[in-house]
Every structure is written in C-alpha cells, then in structure tokens.
Amino acid sequence: MANKKMVNIDGNTAASNIAYAFSEVAAIYPITPSSDMGEYADAWAAAKKKNIFGEPVQVVQMQSEAGAAGACHGSLVAGSLTTTFTASQGLLLMIPNMFKIAGEMIPTVFHVTARALACQSLSIFGDHSDVMACRSTGFGFMASANVQEAQDIAAITHLASLESKIPFIHFFDGFRTSHSIQKIEEVDYDTLKSMMPWEALEDFRRRGLSPDRPTLKVGAQNPDVYFQGRETVNRYYDAAPGIIKRYMKLYAEKTGRSYAPYTYIGDPNAERIIIAMGSATETIDETIRFLNARGEKVGALKVVLYRPFSVADFVEAIPASVKKIAVLDRVKEPGAIGDPLYLDTVAALKGKPISIIGGRYGLSSKEFTPPMVKAVYDHLARDGHHGFTVGIEDDVTHLSIPVKDQIDTEDKGVVRCKFWGYGSDGTVGANKNSIKIIGEGTDLYVQGYFQYDSNKSGGYTISHLRFGKKPIQSEYLLNNANFIALHYRDYIGKYDILEGITEGGTFLLNSSWKPEEVFSKLTAEMQKTIRDKKIKVYNVDASKIAKKAGLGQRINTVMQTAFFKLSGVLPEEEAISMIKAYVEKAYKKKGKEIVQMNWDAIDASVDAIQIVPIPEGEVACAPMEDVVPADSNAYAKEIVDPVLRLKGDLLPVSKMSFDGTLPTGTKRLEKGGRAARVAPWLKELIPANSIQTDDIYFEYPGSCQGCGEIGYISMVTQLFGDRMIIANATGCSSIYGGTFPTTPYTMDSNGKGPCWANSLFEDNAEFGFGMRLSVDAGRKLLADLLKEMLNDPIPDSLKGLIRERLDNWSVTTLDAKAAAEIIKKEIDALVAKNPGNERFRLAASLKDLLIERSIWIFGGDGWAYDIGFGGLDHVLANNRNVNVLIVDTEVYSNTGGQASKSTPRGAVAKFAANGKQMGKKNLGLMMATYNSCYVASINQAVNKEQCVKAIIEAESYQGPSVVIAYAPCIAHGYDLRLSMQQGKKASDSGYWPMYRYNPAKLGTSESPLSWDAPEATIEFGEFKEIENRYQMLSRSNPAEAERLAALAARDNAIRTHNILNLKNS
Amino acid sequence: MEPNLKTRYMGLELANPIIVGASKLTASVEGIQKAEAAGAGAVVCASLFEEQIQLEQWKMENDIESISNVDAEIGGFFPSLEHSGPKEYLHWVKKAKASVKIPVIGSLNAVDEGSWVDYAQMIEDTGVDGLELNFFHTPGDFDKSGAEVESDQLRVIEAVKAKIRIPLAVKLSCCYSNPLHFISRIDQLGVRAFVLFNRLFESDIDTDEIRHTTPLNLSSKGDHKLACRYAGLLFKRVKADVCANNGFMSGRDVVRAILSGASAVQVVSTLYRHRHDQIEVMLAEIRQWMTQQNLSDLNAIRGKLAEVNVNDRFIYKRAQYVDLILRSQELLESPAP
C-alpha cells in the first residue's frame, strides 16, 4: 500500500484529478457547480501534467454541453478514453448523445455535480434532479457522498466502466461535496495505473473506428430488428455489479479503503431504516451514531450503485430485522407515485414484509440536518404518510413532517467557526487558506464550506469551518459555532450574527470602535446572548492594522491571525508560529521583505486584539434595522424581509408563487423604497412623446460595481420600458435581473413597465422569438375583432377611437397609449353590459395588445456567440420584429470568466490559460450578410448618443435586429472606475468597432452602413496595457503574449476592413 | 584622418568608449535601438532586479486574489497562472540583442546566491555579449560586518563566473572599507571589468511637507572625479578593465576617464538631461580634442595620468587632499579652467 498522502481539497478537485488520470481527451463546457473540474483539467493540460499513460489530456472547450457530449461520443468511437464534466441543464443537453453512447456500449465516465434543474426558477444548488432525468439513457450511476469518495468512487467507476463497457455518470452533490474542502487521503497515479484493466483497454481500442478494420456503426434499423438490437445489451448490465464489486475489492487492497454498492450503517438489528444517496448519507450516518448511542434501533442503507440496480446486493445489504423503510429522494417527479429511489426500492423489495414510504428532502441544497434525520425516523415510528417532505413547511398540501428535536450530533471535540464577510473582502480566501494551514500542519480533519449572497457586489459571505480529530461527516451548515467572527460591522441589526453560538463561545468583531463602546453597539438580542451564554467578545481594528502594515484595504491577514489566536483550534502559540511558518513558505520566493511585512502584520494583529468588557446592568444597544420600509406591502414584509435577513428557509409553501411569477419594482425595497433617478443625459435623448421620462424602469441591479452591462439595459428599458417584454438568457443579467425575491425592473407611475422572463441559457433567441409570434398572433386577432366590432352596436365615439387605432396600428406615442387606455376601458364596459358576447370578451382578453409590444432578447456573449448561436442565427435570419441586445463582456462572466468565441485573441481566460488562440468572432458582420437584419455595434464610453440612436433604429426596424454592446467586466482585470476611459480606448485603438448597418437603406441612395467609430488614434497596446486579462499573459508567457498581440492587432484591422466593406452593399 | 575612438572593454571591441548604462533608457528594445542609433559604443540593459520580480509575482497574485470568491459561481476570473519570473526580461533582452550591432551587456541584481547564478545563465542564453553584476547594496543591517558583505559578494561572483562563459563585469558602490582591496580580490576571480561606481538610492526630505521624497537621483557635474581617481589607482594594478561611471557628461569628461586609465565610461544622467543627441555631442568633443592634441588613437593616452604613470604620486594621496583644503580659498578665487 502506498504511503498516505493527505490533501485538503474539494470534491471537484478530487474527481477531476481521477478523470484526468484515466482520460486521453476531455470535451468540456462551463456550468456551475461543475466548471471547476473542466478548469482544473484545462489548467493541468496547459501545465503538461501527465495522465497515467504519460501524456497530457487533450482538453477542448465546446460551444455547449450538447457539443461536449458529441465530441465525447466521437472521441470514444474513434478509440480514445474520453471524459466530461457537467451538471443540471448541461447534463440535459447531453442526454441525446448519452443514449447513443450507451446504446453503442462505449465505456466512459461523465462526472456530474448533481444540481437542481430550472423549473419554476433556475437554481445553481444541489439535488438529484439532473441525474435522475438521465435514468433511461442506459448510463450507469455511481454516487459519492463526500470528498474522499468523490476521488475513490470516481476511480472505481472509471475502471469498472472500461471493463463492463457501460458508460457511467459519477455524481456527487453540487455545492456540497463539489465545493466543500475536506482532508482526504490522495491516491497516486501509479496506484491507479496498477489497477488498469489493460485487456479491456485493448478491447476498447479494437472497437475504435479504424480503416485498417473497416466497420460501420449502424445508422438505422427497422421494426424487424431494432427491438432485438436493444435487448443485446442485457448481459452487460447484468454483469456490471459484479465488475464494480471486483474493483471495489481491488481498490480496498491497494488503498485500504473499502466500498460496497450498498452499505448498511447503524444498528444491525434495526427495525427502522432510511435509504438514501449522496452527501445526505453522511449526515444520516452521524445522526445514527448519536441515536444508536441513545438506544434507538435505527439504521440506513447508503446507495452507491444506482444503475445498473443490483437487486440481489441491495436486498442482501438490508438487515432481516427491518420492518419500516423511509426512502429519501433528492428530486421531485410531479405526478409520480413516488420519486425514483423510492420506486426502485419498492420494486426491489416486492413481497417482503416491510412497510416502505418515500419522502423528499434537500431540493436546491436545502439544508438536511440531524434534527431532520431524526424527524424521518420519528415519522417512520408513528407510521407516517408516504410522499412526505422534510426541511420545509408545507402548509398547503401538508406533506411536510415536523422537525422538533434540535439535537447536536457532532463529535464533542469538533471546533466550529463561522465568519461573516463582505463581498470580495478576502474573508473566504483567508478561510480557505486557514483550512490549508491547519489541514497540512496538523493531524486535524478539516471541513470548509462557503455561502454567498446573490448580489455580486457588497453582499455577505458566510464561511463555515470545522476542525476535528476524526473525519467530519456533518454535511450541513454550522448550526452551532464555538467561534463567530464578524468582519463587517454593518451587519449588526440586519442578520442574526450570533445564531448558534455555543455556551462560553468566542465572538470576534472587526470595528474601529473602542473596546468599552463595542457592547453598546450590539443589538439587545446579541447582548442578551453574550450575557446568557457567557460569550467572550474581542474587537480588532483590522483596517487600521492592515493599513499600517502596508496591506492596504485587505484585512484578511489581520482577521486570520485573530482567528488563529482566539478560536481554540490550536494552542495560541502553536497557532501563531504555524501561520508564520506558512507565510514564510508561501512567500519565500517573493523575498524576505514580503515575508517580513506579513510577519509584522501578524505580530501587530496579535497585539491589537482587545478584549471587550461586558458591562453589568442596562446599557445602550443598536436597533434592529428595517430591511424593507415600514409601510411596505405584504410581499415586502412577508417574503422580502425574511429572505433578506437570511430567514427564507422559514417561509412556508403558501407564501410562494405557484408558477414562479413575481412582482416587479421590488429592488428599491432594499433602498428604503426610494426610486432611482433617470440619468439626465438619457432623459435628453429620449424622443419626445414616446414614454414617460421621469419614471425609471430599471434600478439598483445587484451587479458588480462598474458592470458594463447596466448602462445599456438602462437605455433600452428607459426607451421602451412601458411596452416591452424581455427574454433574458441565463447569465449575469438574469441573476441581477431576476433573482428572488427582488428585481431591478420596475414600473412607471401608470403601473406600466417591462415584463421579464428567463427560459434557459441556450434557447433565449427562440424564447424571445416565441414571444414575438405570440404578440403577432394576438394583435392580428385583436385587429380582426376590432374591425368586426365596427359593425357592432357600440358607441360611435368608441368606433372613432378604434378606427384611429387601427389606422395607426404601429404608432406607440404617449397619445396613442392614452387613447388605447380609453378603448380598453370602453371594451371592459361592453363586456360588463354584454357578458354573453364572445367577440367582446375575446377582444377584452387581448386588449393589452392595442399598443405594439417591443420584444427584446437580452443575453451575454456566452449565449450569443456560443451556446445560443444556432438559435440566434435562425431568429435573425427570419423576418419577425425582434430586438437582440448582446451585452458583450467577452467571457462567460457569470460562471467565472471562461473563454467564449467573443474573447479576443491574446486575452487570458479560463479554458484559455495560454491566451485565447483564435480571434474574436465577427458576429455583427456575419448577421449583416443576411441583408435583412439590422446590426449595430455600440460603445457607451465613446458616444451615448450613438448608442441610443442605434437602439431606437433597431427597435423601429420592422424585422430582426441585433445590437452588440461593449461591456467591460471585472473579468477584464482592471479597476472598473476607469471603464469609461478604457472603453474609449477600446474604440480609439480600433479594437471595438462602432457602426450601424440598416438593411432598410439597401437599394436607396444611402449606404446601409454608418461607421460611427472615431479614427484610430492610439495603438492597440495602449488599450491593453491596464487590463490584466492581457497582462497576465505577458507576465506568465511573454513570448506568446507578444505573438498573440501582433495577431490581435491584425484581427482588429481585418475586422474594421471587413465591416467597412458593407458600406458598398 | 578621422581620429580612432575604438576601445576594448571586457574583451569586446567598442567603436567608441561611450556606453549607455543600465537605466530606464535601456529597458526596452526601442531604448537599446535608440542608443545604437545615437552612436553609443555599447549598451548595458536595464538590470534584472530579482526583488522587482518578486514584487511583480506578489502583485500578480494579489490581482488574481482581489477578484476571487465573488459569489457562489465565481471562485475567480483567471486560470491558475504562474508568473514567468525573469522570462519577460529575458524575452526583450534577446530581441534587443538581435536587433542591434553594437555590443549589448546584460545586467543583474539578484538576492539569493542561487538566483544570481540561475539568472546569470538565463541572461547569457539570450545571446548578450557580456554580463554586468550589479551589487546594489544599501547598508541597513547593523549585525553584518563588512567582511561578511564582501565574502558574500565574492562567493556570488565566483559562483557566477564558474557557470557562464561570456565576459563578466562587476558594478560596485564605493562604500567599502577599502575598495582597492576588495576590487583586487574580485580581480583575482577573473572578472573582465569593474564599473565604478553605482549610484545608491538616496531619498530626500521635503521640509515643507516634513516627509521623505524620492527624487530622480541623477549625477551632477563634477561627480566624475571619484571614478577617475579610482581608475587612476587601478590602472595596471588589476587585470580587469575599468569603466568609469557617474557624472560623465561631456567629451572632456570621457577624455579624463581615459587619461585616468578607464577603458570606457557609462552615461545615463546626461542623456536624461540632454536626450540621446548628447552622445554625438560628446563624441564630437572627443574628436575635436584629439585633433587639437594631434592624436589619432584614443588608446594611446589611456592611463597617461594613472597613478603608475604620474610623477606627482601625491596627487592620489591624502596629503594632497589636506593641501587642497589649506588652499581652498585661493582655489575658489582663481578663474575657472
């Protein structure tokens, strides 16, 4: 057995390291929470890391998960071991190919961070909806419950897949196992290689397409043979569980870690058991130990092998004593008799004298805690109902079960630490670092998990850290904490900071307050907790220390030191010397000065920690802050308020909208109910008599500070907001635009404003196009009805208004809107008088369409240039009047900066660690060549008037139009306070073209192309010099940076030249 | 006949003795090309400072860190990249060397002994004609003796010398207890030249703001005398060439250095003040002086006023200095030369 090597990593790292070992090719595409796996593989390949065959993996980014699956299929068919990484909608896009891969009996492993699917809403968080949607593909399923397993089960799956010829999904819980950092024992590549089934590999190669052995993969079969063909695979599925068990045994021999397809945990004579998969089984295991120790005869069956489902192994693993089973599914299949694992269990145990019920838990990473586990056992004990839910309050269909006993099942020696941080203040990074220091420097087991606000700037972060002498199985957030640090004092009065702090625990505050005034700055509730639980309170002025130590605004070193000193994870002296030793190791290469600077900061931090005196008797206290204004409506008070206070878990089902519909105009609730103001320059540019200019339609988006998208969305909404419908591709703009419970889209004083919806990432053009079709169909019918009504006995005055509306059917002036309002009222009156008149009722149902809709399709470059391009191309090649706004940040911003086909040559991005090798796609030119699509390329930093002009022209154009907007993003790597100067340089250097191409002018004396960019007055290099996306390459690979810079400059010239050629169309 | 200004310096043939010293002026391909176009005999590239690379690595990590952990989906925006260390420097030096005909000398200031050797080899691999080790050492350590400082530097020179084949120059400050002794020990290691002397960092104080300032530390007219004095003392006493540095601003200053025994001079401050055209002005002055002196080859006068060649040995002695002080009033009142 190899020497133990302990590492502190997350599940994504663990699984991708194995996938890399066993693969020759990886076809990838970013999707949360699996993106890291592809990024690691790409980075390793760039660094020439070798797989077990001694070669770097060929990693290629595709345009979508569908593309990645197709590339996997091709690579596999051609005989290379191939893998991919995905989740959620990405996995759904792979399904067609998964049927093919499995149908052709090709071994592979897809590593999946199991994630919720977009239903009433998108969710990036974890459950089993995605993998369960793949049950009929023919892929096998293996589930990992923790980071150690994400490595070990991944390895076993790769080996077993190759030998069994069955492709597998290896999955683990997204945003739990995928992102939880734990200390695990690493398996080395030599050990993996020693388990490789070489004969199976040879067989796989032989089955690969080779003109030396000409074969054909059958293209089509008819009713005579297709069915029989499907049945040929059975024996392979029958054999697979045996193969998996064999590799589990071999793996145990090599590593000392044993696994089984189905593992029983708990009392061997249990009568009540739970059956579950994934990380929940860790929490169940922990709870069982607690309950067994208190005499409860309970147990659980942990499912690792879900497909092919081995009934024999499954049944054998269940003790004969079991009388009642609760099967927990982390997925909802509406309308089904039960959820998938439940149905499998019922079928597997058919005829056994066991009562089986199913229940749901943990959708979208909903917490699943020991008290909930106990609640399930209690539910079983009282013969509770099937189809239950646990972890929520269902006050509508009453399926939820009560969670009463707040048990603390964690090992007594575990030290639990919680940190409240602010945005990118370095708290999360410092905590990841602390885990590494303690994990590497001691025998302690560690666990770190990080929670974030949905707002991309200025939001909270909460770090949950555990340190213990035994492996940590608590796969849930900290409910109890020995140490709580508040890095940002403004959270006092807004959040329940001290929730769960243990008796005698420690509270550390970062503030500039004097120690003797700190206590009076806390809320009464905090003061009571501190007194009742005898909490030790400390204060440190981290900003002051950091500034003095030369660390600027970054307070993390100071707070990290204070944590090491106060948390009790390690004895104080050992802790401080450990952090110093780590600093020396980490910064040694960067010179003595930097080591010393950090050491000085550590010493200064230790000295600066002040104990806060807890006064006796009455003292002043801080008030609880209003999160929403006191005079708000019920939605604000009952939903927005608790969600913003991080108490959304307590909202019952009845408070939620059944179809995901939300009111707009709610973001301002976070700003005291005050509306934002329309920018004066924008007011001036709005055409007269078109829209109310004093009311804003888009305000306070929770985007990053300086986000380049916001200005354009403000322009479009301000021009057409009272009659617009927006289809928004998934991405940053959908997250700051539509994350529950508040939205920046708002309405004017007449109650009119943008309607907004998000379907998916890949289908947004088609989604918006469908909206257009609907409006066109509705308006056509409405117009016909109105024409018919002119012959009905209706008031002449109404007839006059209708005639005028019909004669000016496309006019959308304020006057026309006012007239339409009168017509609407008149039609309603007609319906009231003539309730049996179908024509009037039908017209009334369509009356909102009296005014033409402005259909807008918003999305970023990841959507427009890559995953949604096929649909975008089709929609723009059509003749319907849709308007597309592409906010072009030149990377996949929302998933963390992966390269898209919009990324310029030479810029560094994820999946382009050596700089983007190919030039930016000239999307505008491509669409212009249809000669029927209006195209504009705009840059607000240069000329806002040109932007507004282009947007108005695009909207007025009676056909498809696309506006491509230059949108700086923090992924560009510079201080976005400089984005206006930098944006100007983008066009001044000839990089960002500004033009309008209007096909309506074709065949006239006017050129269809208006070139709006300034003369290039500066070199491209001058534009690039402050952007880290370019500078990173100069610093990491200067020769390549120079080569790509020259090509990028040529790209710019060719792009401009080609666009200018349109002038003569 | 055109006077011959050619000189040999650290084994390299220079068309004239004016070398553009390591500075911002020689920190890019364009800067090196400009020096050649202006008529320089050779050029020393801006120094590869290990501390600067360390700081850049630190900054790059901070840049990446500052936009990481933005939200649940964004762990960071950049792939994991490592700073290339000296590669960026080496890349342009290689290009600069390939783009000019005059000798190009690399320059290095490292921190660790290992880095001195590694970086020296990397610089050699760029194809430069020689390497100048730049011992830019600012005293700051109360616990370290002069002997330790010297032995550290000797060890570095010996280690570098053992690994590279191109000629080596050593640029020193004058702040040693006995520079002559130290130079002599270095000479025995086989270096090909000494550059005398480095200008050390000097901050100033703003008395209005009552704070330190860091003005551009240019040399002044008259500063050349120190280098000339040492060139004179070292001529024929050490095997290595001497390149005089600090305060050489005119053709006459260059002549002074050659007369003292130097093989070449380095110029920087005067180019900051008068731009690169100053090189041609200086060369014209030298030619004019040579014509006046009826001199066809500058080498003929090298070391003519070195200590070994002058009769008045006291000119290099302390006694002469005392005499100068005693006669200071008289000298100040006499007309300028």
Q: For strands B130-134 and B48-49, give the pairing.
A: unpaired
- The ipTM is 0.86
Q: How many residues would you count in chain B? A: 337
Which residue in chain B is spatially nearest to A47 when comparing CA positions? Answer: B81
Of B68, B73, B82, the CB nearest to A424: B68
In a domain, A762, yes or no: no
Q: Find all residues with CB under 8 Å of B177, minimum gap 6, and list them.
A: B146
Which chain B residue's Cα is nearest to A1034?
Answer: B88
Distance CA A594, CA A600 (A): 10
A567 close to A483: Cβ distance less than 8 angstroms: yes
Cβ-based interface (< 8 Å): residues of B facing A: 50-51, 54-58, 60, 62-84, 87-88, 91-92, 111
The structure tokens listed for B299 are 């080498």
Query: Above 80 in pLDDT, residue B318?
Result: no
What is d(CA A652, CA A394) in angstroms, rounded to the nearest whole number?
6
Report, as an integer, the average pLDDT of B289-293: 95
**How does residue B139 score in pLDDT terms, banded at 50, 70 and 90?**
confident
Residue B330 has pLDDT above 90, yes or no: no
Give the CATH number for residue A915. Answer: 3.40.50.970
Q: Where are the alpha helices (DSSP H) in chain B?
A: 29-37, 50-66, 87-99, 113-125, 146-163, 179-187, 224-234, 251-260, 269-274, 277-292, 318-326, 328-333
Average predicted confidence (pLDDT) for chain B: 90
Q: Indicate whether B312 pLDDT > 80.
A: no
pLDDT of residue A32: 96
Domain span including residue A525: 415-611
Give percent of chain A above pLDDT 90.
94
For residue A990, pLDDT over 60 is answered with yes
**Whether residue A379 is found in the same domain as residue A420:** no
Same domain for A1041 and A919: yes
Indicate whether A938 and A980 sit together in one domain.
Answer: yes
Does residue A220 form part of some domain?
yes
Position A113 scores a pLDDT of 98
**Residues above pLDDT 70, as percent of chain A:** 100
Say whether both A42 and A184 belong to one domain: yes
Q: Inform me whether the C-beta atom of residue A707 falls under 8 Å from chain B C-beta atoms.
A: no
Q: Which A residues 40-59 touch B at CB under 8 Å?
A: 42-43, 46
CATH of B7-309, one of 3.90.76.10, 1.10.1060.10, 3.40.50.2300, 3.20.20.70: 3.20.20.70
Q: Closest CB to A43: pick one of B64, B80, B111.
A: B80
Query: Domain for residue A675, yes or no?
Result: no
Average pLDDT over residues A441-447: 95
Contact check, Cβ <8 Å, A452/B50: no
State how far residue B86 is from chain A, nearest Cα, in angstroms. Answer: 9
Q: Are residues A335 and A203 in the same domain?
A: no
Which chain B residues contact residue A46 at CB under 8 A? Answer: 79
Cβ contact A909–B87 (<8 Å): no
For residues A93 and A173, membership in a common domain is answered with yes
Question: Do A971 and B67 lie within an 8 Å CB cutoff?
Answer: yes
- The answer, for A451 touching chain B at a CB cutoff of 8 Å, is yes
Do B69 and A429 lie within an 8 Å CB cutoff? yes
| Min Cα–Cα distance to chain B from A816, Å | 45
Please say whether the beta carbons of A486 and A518 come within 8 A.
no
pLDDT for res B333: 64
A739 touches chain B (CB under 8 A): no
Give domain status of residue A856, yes or no.
no
Better-predicted residue by pLDDT, B159 or B214:
B159
Q: Is residue A904 part of a domain?
A: yes
Q: Considering the domain boundaries, does residue A542 fall inside one?
A: yes
pLDDT of B336 above 70: no
Residue A298 banded pLDDT, cuts 50, 70, 90: very high
Q: Which of A294-308, B214-228, B319-333 has the lowest mean pLDDT?
A: B319-333
Q: A501-517, pLDDT tens digit by residue?
A: 999 999 999 999 999 99
Assess whether pLDDT exceeds 80 at residue A3.
no
**pLDDT value at position B69?**
85
In a domain, A650, yes or no: no
**With 80 as the cut, is the pLDDT of residue A212 above it?**
yes
Contact A973 B63 (CB under 8 A): yes
- Report DSSP letters for A96-125, one per residue: HHHHHHHHTT---EEEEEE----SSS---S
Q: Quote the CA–CA distance of A407 and A374 in Å, as a whole number.
A: 9
Does B337 have pLDDT greater than 60?
no
| CB-based contact B72 A1028, cutoff 8 Å | no
Q: Do A911 and B79 touch (CB under 8 A)?
A: yes
Taking 50 as the threshold, does the pLDDT of residue A2 lie above it? no
Instruction: Determine the pLDDT at residue A426.
Output: 85
User: Identity (one letter) of the amino acid at A752?
Assistant: K
Q: Return mean pLDDT, chain A.
A: 96
Exposed, middle or buried: residue A529 (CB in 10 Å: 0-12, 13-18, 19+)? buried
Are residues A383 and A460 part of one domain? no
pLDDT in tens, A277-297: 999 999 999 999 999 999 999
- CB within 8 Å: A896 and B77: yes
- Residues A97, A122, single domain; the answer is yes
Same domain, A275 and A217: no
Inter-chain CB proximity B67 and A450 less than 8 Å: no
Mutate to test the interface with B, among A424, A704, A908 (most CBs of B within 10 A): A424
A272 and B CB contact within 8 Å: no
Domain locations in chain B as residue ranges: 7-309
- Nearest-CA distance B121 → chain A (Å): 19
pLDDT at A993 (0 to 100):
97
Mean pLDDT across A672-699: 95
Whether the pLDDT of residue B201 is over 80: the answer is no
- pLDDT confidence bin for A1, thresholds 50/70/90: very low
Asked if the structure places residue A739 within a domain, the reply is: no
Nearest CA in chain B to A591: B54
pLDDT of residue B322: 58
Calculate how close chain A gets to B41, using CA atoms only, in Å: 29
Mean pLDDT lowest among A534-538, A576-580, A770-774, A993-997: A576-580
Give the model's pLDDT for residue A1028: 95
| Number of domains into which chain A is organized | 5
Cα–Cα distance between B110 and B132 in angstroms, integer?
Answer: 12
Which residue numbers of A are catalytic? Answer: 32, 65, 115, 894
Q: Indicate the range of A853-857, B33-37, B38-42, B196-200 predicted with least confidence.
A: B196-200
Contact A58, A25 (CB under 8 A): yes
A172 and A201 belong to one structural domain: yes
Nearest to A664 by CA among A638, A635, A685, A689: A635
- Domain end position, chosen among A255, A274, A304: A255
Across the A/B interface, how many CB contacts are shorter than 8 Å? 127
pLDDT, one tens digit per residue, over A314-369 is: 999 999 999 999 999 999 999 999 999 999 999 999 999 999 999 999 999 999 99
Residue A495: strand pairing partners: A492
DSSP assignment, residue A668?
Answer: G
CATH number at residue A282: 3.40.50.920
**Yes or no, beta carbons of A594 and B58 under 8 Å apart:** yes
Q: What gap in Å lies between CA A968 and CA A781, rounded to an integer?
A: 43
Q: What is the mean pLDDT of residues A106-123?
A: 97
Supply the DSSP string of B97-110, one letter for each residue: HHH-SS-EEEEEE-
